[in-house]
Structure 1
Amino acid sequence: MLAKDRVSSSIATSDFISRDLSWMKFNYRVLDQVKKPSRKIFEKLKFLAITSSNLDEFFMIRVGSLYNYIDYGKERVDYSGLREKPFRKKLLQEAQQFFQEQNRYYTENLVPQFEQNHFSIVKDLARLSDKQRKQLEEYFNLTIYPMLTPMTYDSYHAFPTLMNKLLVFGVVTREPDTKKDNKKLSFVQIPQNLPRFYEFDDDDYVTFVPIEEVVRTYIHRLFRNITIQSVNLFRITRNGDFTLDESDDLESSFVEEVRRKLKTRKTGRVVRIETESGYSSWMMRQLINRWNIDKDNLFEVEPGGLLDFTSLWQIVKHHDFRNRVPKTPAPVPPVTYPEMGNEDIFEVLKHRDILLHHPYNDIEPLLDLIEKSAEDPNVLAIKLTIYRLASESRITAALLKAAENGKHVSVLFELKARFDEENNMREAQRLHKAGCFVIYGVSSIKTHTKLLLIVRKDGKQVTRYVHMSSGNYNEQTAKLYTDLGLLSTNEVYAHDVSEFFNVITGHSSPTDYQYLITAPRDMREQLISLIRQEAENAKKELPSGIAIKINSLEDREIISELYSASQMGVPIQLIVRGICCIRPGRPGLSENITVRSIVGDFLEHSRIYYFHNNDEPKVYSGSADVMVRSFDRRLESLFLAADPTVKKQAMNIISYNLRDNMNTYLMQEDGSYQLIKRGKSAPFDIHKEFFRVTLDELESVKLF
């Protein structure tokens, strides 16, 4: 059997699907949004930029993590059964195929649509008018040229540190009028603070000129009296996966350790080179040898393509096209709070729980609660966990105001929130200087839970207001991500959340929670217990069923329990947006398991766990996915939907997800996905239908 056939056989026979190969399938589903005929060109460019950003992060973290094993000789066996080096080859081959599909669709299908949509990307400056070329030359002379620094690599010059994800020219030169081979390699890095495109805005038409083409045209001015043999554009991706040395519990040491590790992202080992075609083979040999990679790590853009599709955001967000990107409908009031904004939120929450379903419901009630708490003289304390914040966050502003007004403010900033570390450190220091009690994470565990506790004096009584969520305290992503957040004054929630904050901010280990399931304490065990109860009910021929909506499903123990429950006859409906390592529909293993993935206008981010429980459903929501890291290396929480209406709302969300026939992919036994074909059925698009949910609909909702 050939090595390639052995790899395919191993992947196909495993009961578990590779996490990383599953992620590649997810990015293909995002790429499908680029290909959707109903989408306008600017939507397509947006989704193409997202696929490119996704792929960058994938190489920095997942491929970077794999190289941490390879480089240090550590053993790793993928769920597919492959060891480190064979899996590296398979993974890079899959990434190559995706990269080529991206670029092929861009050049063959998108670029021809530019002209009719009143813009173009002009790479050949000869196509510009004399006036435009003169303007570009002035821009180069006055703005770009002073910023450029040619960096030569030879026996007298050390190899320069080239920045992660920036465009770089590799320039091969030699002395003129000499016969000996005296080639030299220099690098010209395009500054990151320049816009990717220079714009000519002429009436109703915009010409975008890539900044690299301006530099290429005048790059000879950096190499005077020298023969330039080749000018090669490329972009590198570095390993961004790092672990922290947290042996020292001192806060200041931890913050400095985070800062130090962040710098390694700028110098981490190279895991990918993207390059334009026609590059100098001599130059590429130097780079490949220097960075200890091979041709599998080399991703080549064909003529007419574009390096780094994330730059397309500049076009999507251009002011001339603002009205040509479909607008999201205005948020609607929560079904249990139709009078939103007309009543005092403090009083409303004394009488009912409010489940916010973003982005269909505005985040405003939550922001209103926090901002009023900052000003209300009766509010005594505010406690909050922060994983990712919006830029110019209203929440940070409210917490600063609260501290200024003398309230006790406790904030846990997770400094290990990937790619938000620097922003979180900066915001945490602002709050610390204002007098807030700031915690920088909890030892080696990442705090991913989303919890808010407000303590307010009501005469002689004290009322505790809680918010528990699947999403971040971020008013920007609340418009783009689907998330659930529960506002309540229920004393059981308040007690549990108070106890959990004592774990986070102090040294406490509560004996029990009534409405919360927490990690790393016992979340995996509790979920396993709930799954086994469904299997036991099925065995007794009692009603059973499991429906779970999450972002990622990877934990082997939970997957094994779901397999066992399926074999006992439990119907299992899984809605998993991204990574999914379970193999549905395999005879004798998982015939009763169905997996859907929904990819569309909004990023599916909410988590809901439903257990039929012999017609007495238990429903949870919260911050945790079914991942090893969620159960073992993170502070996570799931909250029970105790209020009957809230429970019905959560069940209705799952019901709608199962009815969607516009954005839904069915996962096949081999790990591939097929878009559901609507046929003659009426369209049901959850990203539209959730704007129309009524209280009456909840009464009849039933799963299984």
Structure 2
Amino acid sequence: MKLTKEYIKKYFKSENFFNRELSWLEFNRRVLEEATNPNLPLLERVKFISIFFSNLDEFYMIRVSGLKEQIRAKVFETSIDGLTPIDQLAKIEETVQPMVKQIYDYWHTIVLPELRKNNIFICDINELSEEEKKGLNQYFLKEIYPVLTPLAFDPGRPFPYISNLSLSFAILVKKPNGEKHFARVKIPSILPRLLRIDHIIDKNSSSQQSNSIKYVWIGDLIKSNLNMLFPGLDAVEAYRFRITRNTDLEIQEDEADDLLQLIEENIRLRKFGSVVRLEVESNMPDYMLDTLVENLEITRNDVHIIDGNLGLADVMILYDLSLPHLKDKPFYPVPSLNIEEEENIFSMISKRDILLHHPYESFTPVVDFIKEASRDPDVLAIKQTLYRIGQNSPIVKYLIEAAESKKQVAVLVELKARFDEENNIYWARELEKAGVHVVYGLVGLKTHAKMTLVVRKELDGVKRYVHLSTGNYNTSTAKLYTDLGLFTADEEICADVSEIFNYLTGYSEQKKYRKLSVAPVNKRQTFLELINREIQNVKSGGKGRLIFKLNSLVDPVIIAALYEASNQGVKIDLIVRGICCLVPQAPGLSENIRVVSIVGRFLEHSRIYYFYNNGQEEIYLSSADLMQRNLDRRVEVTFPVENPQLRKFIKEEILKTCLRDNQKARILLPTGKYVFYHPVYTEKPLNHQEYLIKYVSKKHKKPIRAKNK
């Protein structure tokens, strides 16, 4: 499909696109809905409250900071939806402030009373017994006081540096002569925000004989002991505040001699990014707020007045309580491969493509694939991409083991994976120490593709085995994110993967691949051609059908192509967890497009692209969403699922149940708002994720695999 001027003029109008930032906020509103869902167990709601605030922190660190950078640079161009950066900031605040108020009201009026009913108490200091107060004060003297650093602010001492997302006290102290001074005390982040009393004071004391669980906020304990930090003075007033800094610093890769050194320097600079948000307690007096605003070099528009404890993301600690009756029924991934004694994983892959669906099925076979490759004397080489590795990675351990066994091991570690840079730098150095060939990525591109290639010497010659995935090689997130992984020995796919690794580690101008599409090389054009094929099929009297499941749909060119397909009669279902800039069900624009979003127990992360193709159905899995960054600024891989049995599973058990979900699914309206898709009278309740939990439990003896064609 060629993008003609007429085509652009037809669809590239501001009213045809939702704003990216506001669409993301609507996603976080769906998280808020889960946080306030009375049908969820109490601690599950607490978990979603934490997720809501963690999401919001990152949104301000990255997206809001970017808009403020544009304003500082006097960039007033409108986004494709017609909003200037100033307009977007205003609408963001209009949206965020009521949401924050709603969730704080819910925390105070619903969650705290329900916690108390379940013998979980978050107490004020003055609610505690004298014995408990004494024990906490002893803990303060021993564990907290030594790490506190009061910082004065006066003509001889400049305003102190305040770290990102740190919680602090702004304090007014008075000398005996009546002089008043400003000071700041940081609440140490190395200690938990909520202190569990029975873990602190003598467990044998009489006050600890009940079954209740009591917490106090560490800030309350520090505040009650502030005078100890200012001997001979009086801490007259103390109010909490919290700042958010710009952490999205631009990396000038083309000017760097050493990418690793450049990333390390940027991590250091990130700590000093400009302040984009100041959260303060609602009772902070104006003179103190003015002092903060002036010295943090912000405006009152950057201030959020909070009626409650700041930084509620930290309440996730409550989810760690061993109280199963207050959580969802436990779920454990089912074993997904049964390897016979005479077999190994390579012989299984030789016989059939194997599809794994996480977290419903265990991630262990992926780790075992690397483990077996590292120890198999017939394996000659292992190549892998690592984006978000995680801590204590068993995969890295086996890659190191393989290198120490003199196998050829090449790993691309993406140092630019946001907020995982330090962890990835550590693992890159550990791999290099073991003799692994480590590549850090391509200049100007992030490598987001998820690929592993194993080269093995066999009786009939050298053979290649591949694992391709929609998600990261991270054993922790594999328990929480829904993703699909494919093991295959298909010669053409393996050849493509080999050539992509050559592109990553060497030099290549390759433009075509056998079965894979690769961003930024040909993925955009491939998708436009596949969408156009559905249009042509309809024009020829056939049927056109598309189902896309992804995290974000932002790219305006792809959106315009979907509008054209809709207007030509192609039926389109989009399952978009997060951002969606496409306006669905709009007359004359997108009447044949429906957008569904599912926010539930697991994070929907898999990317699936279904094309009806006049009955010759095609399904592709991918590491990529349909965003400009994925199509133009990242190395991404999209791979086909060619076995009919596996395609049927994806279509019937994943895509169709997503579209039939009437418990956790929301429908996107042409207004940009989402509404629950409630079952009609004849429909049975269906929760997509719960359905799949039951499905794999029944099928665990028959993993999702298929004989090759």
TM-score scaled by structure 1? 0.93
Match of 2:261 among 224, 232, 256: 256
Aligned: 1:186 with 2:183: yes
Shift of 1:630: 0.4
Structure 1 residues 85-124: Cα deviation after superposition (integer angstroms, max 9, x where no partner): 12212112211122111111111111110111121111x2
5 Å-filtered alignment, 1:10-159, equals 14-122=15-123, 124-159=124-159
Aligned to 2:688: 686
5 Å-filtered alignment, 1:286-435, equals 286-302=291-307, 305-318=308-321, 320-321=322-323, 324-334=326-336, 343-435=343-435
Q: Contact (CA 8 Å) 2:571, 2:592: kept in 1 or not?
A: yes
5 Å-filtered alignment, 1:568-587, equals 568-587=568-587
Aligned to 1:657: 658
Shift of 1:340: 8.2
Matched to 1:551, the amino acid is: N
Q: For 1:332 and 1:338, how far apart are their aligned partners in 2?
A: 11
Q: Contact (CA 8 Å) 2:148, 2:187: kept in 1 or not?
A: yes
Describe the SS at the equivalent of 1:548.
Answer: strand
Q: Contact (CA 8 Å) 2:194, 2:215: kept in 1 or not?
A: yes
5 Å-filtered alignment, 1:576-655, equals 576-652=576-652, 653-655=654-656
5 Å-filtered alignment, 1:184-583, equals 184-201=181-198, 202=208, 203-248=210-255, 250=257, 253-302=258-307, 305-318=308-321, 320-321=322-323, 324-334=326-336, 343-583=343-583
Aligned to 2:9: none
Shift of 1:549: 0.3
Q: Contact (CA 8 Å) 1:340, 1:365: kept in 2 or not?
A: no
Q: Contact (CA 8 Å) 1:92, 1:297: kept in 2 or not?
A: no
Structure 1 moving runs of 4+ over 4 Å: 337-343, 693-699
Matched to 1:200, the amino acid is: I
Q: For 1:219 and 1:286, how far apart are their aligned partners in 2?
A: 20
Q: Contact (CA 8 Å) 2:356, 2:704: kept in 1 or not?
A: no
Describe the SS at the equivalent of 1:111.
Answer: helix
Aligned to 1:5: none
Q: Contact (CA 8 Å) 2:44, 2:326: kept in 1 or not?
A: no
Shift of 1:435: 0.5
Q: For 2:394 and 2:76, how far apart are their aligned partners in 1?
A: 46
Shift of 1:169: 0.2
Q: For 2:578 and 2:162, how far apart are their aligned partners in 1?
A: 32
Describe the SS at the equivalent of 1:353.
Answer: strand
Matched to 1:236, the amino acid is: I
TM-score scaled by structure 2? 0.92
Q: Contact (CA 8 Å) 2:14, 2:80: kept in 1 or not?
A: no
Aligned to 1:167: 167
Shift of 1:683: 1.7
Q: For 1:317 and 1:422, how far apart are their aligned partners in 2?
A: 26
Describe the SS at the equivalent of 2:292.
Answer: helix
Unaligned runs of 5+ in 2: 1-12, 199-207
Aligned residues: 677
Q: Contact (CA 8 Å) 1:341, 1:365: kept in 2 or not?
A: no
Structure 1 residues 190-223: Cα deviation after superposition (integer angstroms, max 9, x where no partner): 1111111221234522101110001000111212
Compared CA separation, residues 329 and 143, structure 1 to 2 (3 A): closer
Shift of 1:52: 0.8
Shift of 1:390: 2.6
Matched to 1:674, the amino acid is: V
Q: For 1:96 and 1:577, how far apart are their aligned partners in 2?
A: 23
Q: Contact (CA 8 Å) 2:195, 2:217: kept in 1 or not?
A: yes
Compared CA separation, residues 483 and 155, structure 1 to 2 (3 A): same
Q: Contact (CA 8 Å) 1:385, 1:411: kept in 2 or not?
A: yes
Matched to 2:193, the amino acid is: R
Shift of 1:697: 13
Q: For 2:101 and 2:72, how far apart are their aligned partners in 1?
A: 27
Q: For 1:394 and 1:405, how far apart are their aligned partners in 2?
A: 17
Q: Contact (CA 8 Å) 1:89, 1:296: kept in 2 or not?
A: no
Deviates more, 1:689-698 or 1:184-193: 689-698
Q: Contact (CA 8 Å) 2:444, 2:633: kept in 1 or not?
A: yes
Q: Contact (CA 8 Å) 2:355, 2:704: kept in 1 or not?
A: no
Q: For 1:18 and 1:405, how far apart are their aligned partners in 2?
A: 52
Q: For 1:21 and 1:151, how far apart are their aligned partners in 2?
A: 39
5 Å-filtered alignment, 1:691-702, equals 691=693, 692=695
Shift of 1:249: 5.5
Aligned to 1:9: none
Describe the SS at the equivalent of 2:613.
Answer: coil
Q: For 1:162 and 1:632, how far apart are their aligned partners in 2?
A: 37
Structure 1 residues 444-490: Cα deviation after superposition (integer angstroms, max 9, x where no partner): 20110100000111124112110111000011111110001100111
Q: Contact (CA 8 Å) 1:333, 1:339: kept in 2 or not?
A: no
Shift of 1:658: 1.0
Matched to 1:15, the amino acid is: N
Q: For 2:395 and 2:325, how far apart are their aligned partners in 1?
A: 30
Shift of 1:321: 2.7
Aligned to 1:6: none
Shift of 1:262: 1.1
Q: For 1:143 and 1:672, how far apart are their aligned partners in 2?
A: 48
Compared CA separation, residues 690 and 269, structure 1 to 2 (3 A): same
Unaligned runs of 5+ in 1: 1-11, 700-704
Q: For 1:136 and 1:361, how far apart are their aligned partners in 2?
A: 45
Matched to 2:399, the amino acid is: L
Q: Contact (CA 8 Å) 2:246, 2:270: kept in 1 or not?
A: yes
Query: What is the CA RMSD across the aligned residues, in angstroms?
Result: 2.0
Shift of 1:338: 6.2
Shift of 1:176: 3.7
Matched to 1:231, the amino acid is: A
Describe the SS at the equivalent of 1:187.
Answer: strand
Matched to 1:472, the amino acid is: N
Q: For 1:429 and 1:322, how far apart are their aligned partners in 2?
A: 41
Shift of 1:154: 2.0
Deviates more, 1:70-79 or 1:136-145: 70-79
Describe the SS at the equivalent of 2:173.
Answer: strand
Deviates more, 1:340-349 or 1:566-575: 340-349
Deviates more, 1:610-619 or 1:209-218: 610-619
Matched to 1:245, the amino acid is: Q
Q: Contact (CA 8 Å) 2:572, 2:592: kept in 1 or not?
A: yes
- Percent of counterpart pairs with the same letter? 39
Q: For 1:660 and 1:146, how far apart are their aligned partners in 2?
A: 54
Q: Contact (CA 8 Å) 1:524, 1:631: kept in 2 or not?
A: yes
